Structure 1
Amino acid sequence: MKQTPLIPVLLSLGLAGPALAQNVGEAPISEAQPFTLVPQATLQNPWAIAPLPDGSVLVSGKAGTMWHVSGEQMQELSGVPDVQYSGQNGMLDVAVAPDFERTRAVYFTYVSPENALVLARGTLGTDSLEGIETLWEQTPGGRGQPGGIIAFGPDGALYLSVGDRMQPDTAQEPDNPRGKILRLTMEGRAAPGNPQADAGGVRAQTWSEGHRNPYGLAFGPDGTLWEHEMGPRGGDELNRIEPGQNYGWNAVSNGRHYSGMPIPDHDTAPQFAAPSLYWTPVIAPAGLAFYDGAAFPDWQGHMLIGGLAGQGLVLVAGDGSDQLARWDLGMRVRDVAVGPQGAVWIIEDSDEAKLYRLDPA
């Protein structure tokens, strides 16, 4: 007896089958750039940007540094903890607390000398980070691909991405923090209302799982959480994050193993959440921000994503439905951020890297 494939049957019955993600990796480069790049500072191996309410920015440096850049003035902060500066590891994300104007609190992540991803908090002084305390520490640690991106939710929780640390199987281990997005209190504990809040340990902290190397995490204007992650050989992903969902790594991927061996695609496994978009060839996405401002009205409510391998900047529809533009900047873009006044910032990934502000062309 001839068997009919499952997916067409589901579709013909009007039932939900696995989502079929759109590959935008071969979309053409946008010719016209609606912005100019205005250099602001030259920094050593910068990693992340955190805009401050006064229009200045904090920038983390992978070697274990942090700078406060205001106009043409740049101040390196003292008090930053020691990091493991090797390969993909080092000082990682930096994020200004929602109540910064009252508390001066700054959250940041780094890989410790013991190889653990650490979430920490300090107070920004005149030229230092003060009162640093560890809020969450990864156990066990790992190798590269640390993740470490911070996002503050409209629900008052802190969301933290944790990479698979180059040990892919562990992304599917529920008691291992690798390959997870965690939802924590502002003190670093499991947040109430998580899908497995009563389970204790890592399970109580987990919001979603099955992630590879998540270097972008941001909330849209409607409160939706979006994440992007680097695929293996192909298959960079943009994911709409829902509580309790498993995004499939490393059981499925729209890329291949580095050896060239295939990995089942998302559309073969409906039990895993599929990406909204993916990139093959890869762009190696790094940094994710939603635009809110008057300088670029066509960008309002849409996502800006930096590209390392893609060497540029990508504009994606705010609902994740399509890539709207992709600009070749001729440099590896490590992070992109949008300030409270609508200023757009990017940094390049280099030993001697520029911090740029984007002005309308």
Structure 2
Amino acid sequence: MKFKTCSLLVCLTLGGYSSLSWSNDRFSTDLYSLNVKTHVDGLVNPWSLAFLPEGGILVTERPGRLRLIEAGVLRERPIEGVPDVAASGQGGLLDLALHPDFEENRWLYLSFSDRTAEGLTTRVIRARYQDGRLTDHEDIFEALPRSSGGRHFGGRLLFDRAGYLYLSVGDRGEMDRAQDLADHAGSIIRLHDDGRIPDDNPFVDNPQAKPEIYSWGHRNPQGLVLHPETGDIWSHEHGPRGGDEINRIQASLNYGWPKATHGINYTGFSISPHQTLPGMESPLLYWTPSIAPSGMTFYTGDDFPEWQGQLLSGALSHRLVSRVSIDSAENPESVVEVEQMLKGLGRRIRDIRQDAEGRLWLLTDESPGRVMSIHLND
């Protein structure tokens, strides 16, 4: 595998990136008046961000660069040692996640689309991040079989409280693959932090199944988050025309795609006559028409007390943030979208994250893309 350094030409090109000091946009919501403040502009299709414990923000750009923001300023040079990625269609450099013990071991995890002679797929590596570069690279996972086409890579990463690593893998635009346990496509993957397969994975003793699979029947999951009280994994995924879903992910369960769906084909024809089927999990909430959900987070901060415990999800096609209320941790079946916010921003929201201090951050999936934060209007 090749790893990137910054050539003179690339570095000169990146010199055009800019950092803005608290550029403000004001918005009204049902409960609060907000400022959305732009910290950094000029990114190229940013996909995900992570907050370093020593301060600073790491941001992935889909063409294949990892960027560092320090004290509100975007470093001119990208982080060295990022793997070559296949920035094809929806693919490229996708998510990043810090190891739960990052302060001690400095392991940083990256998901990305990768191309060989056998085709494209979703891969995960880890490397040690120190002093603006990645070293000690290790392969963690490769979704198989590979295939052509640049759609539905999934790529969202999440660590649970026990230290297991989860990865979403899309159906790669070939819907029937999501119902094949011998295929990683259309599934949520569960691994040890070093890529080993947990002994208690649900299909580990099934010779007809990929042992890394934790749940299946997914189309293109783009959000993975832990419930702040229960530690359960929640996900959302893109439907076709309609049928975007929020799900609570549980071991071995089949989430239905494409045998059961609330969506239809982009051509207008039916995909399945069934919205629900026995033995398949129905979504807790679905959107029709689709909003194209992206990153999401459970809000646990103090700035917006009326949002406590609610899901906040970015949206690409509808260019908004969806606020979703959950009745209680004990009753997660009562899930209702209560508001669609920030429509006036007019930007594709790729990710929404909460930092250690409870502040909310947004990424816009554009070129130029932005890093923004949400505040009470003062």
TM-score bin, normalised by smaller chain: 0.7 to 0.9
Verify the 8 A CA contact 2:47 2:60 in the aligned structure 1.
yes
Which residue, 186, 206, 213 being the options, matches 1:179? 186
Query: Is 1:111 the equivalent of 2:113?
Result: yes
Distance 1:56 1:301, change over 3 A: farther
Distance in 2 of aligned mates of 1:331 and 1:181: 28
Which residue, 295, 311, 315 being the options, matches 1:287? 295
Verify the 8 A CA contact 1:254 1:263 in the aligned structure 2.
no
Q: TM-score normalised to the size of structure 1?
A: 0.88
Q: 1:235-259 CA distances to partner (integer Å, 9 max, x unpaired)?
A: 1011111111101111111000112
Unaligned residue ranges in structure 2 (runs of 5+): 1-27, 327-331
1:121 corresponds in structure 2 to 126
Distance in 1 of aligned mates of 2:325 and 2:52: 26
1:325 corresponds in structure 2 to 339
1:304 is displaced (CA, Å) by 1.3
Verify the 8 A CA contact 1:248 1:266 in the aligned structure 2.
no
Secondary structure at the counterpart of residue 109 of structure 2:
strand
Distance in 2 of aligned mates of 1:58 and 1:260: 40
Secondary structure at the counterpart of residue 129 of structure 1:
strand
Q: RMSD in angstroms over aligned alpha carbons?
A: 1.7
The 5 Å alignment of 1:1-361 reads 30=29, 34-42=33-41, 43-75=43-75, 76-114=78-116, 115-142=120-147, 143=149, 144-199=151-206, 203-221=210-228, 222-264=230-272, 267-318=275-326, 319=332, 321-327=335-341, 328=343, 329-361=345-377
Distance in 2 of aligned mates of 1:101 and 1:228: 30
Percent of aligned positions with the same letter in both sequences?
37
1:26 corresponds in structure 2 to none
Aligned residues: 333
Secondary structure at the counterpart of residue 156 of structure 2:
strand
Verify the 8 A CA contact 2:238 2:293 in the aligned structure 1.
yes
Higher relative contact order (CA 8 A, sep 6+): 1
Distance 1:32 1:295, change over 3 A: closer
Q: 1:18-39 CA distances to partner (integer Å, 9 max, x unpaired)?
A: xxxxxxxxxxx95665421111
Q: 1:250-271 CA distances to partner (integer Å, 9 max, x unpaired)?
A: 1111000112111336544122
Secondary structure at the counterpart of residue 169 of structure 1:
helix
1:13 corresponds in structure 2 to none
Secondary structure at the counterpart of residue 211 of structure 2:
helix
Q: TM-score normalised to the size of structure 2?
A: 0.84
Distance in 2 of aligned mates of 1:204 and 1:330: 42
Distance 1:82 1:201, change over 3 A: farther
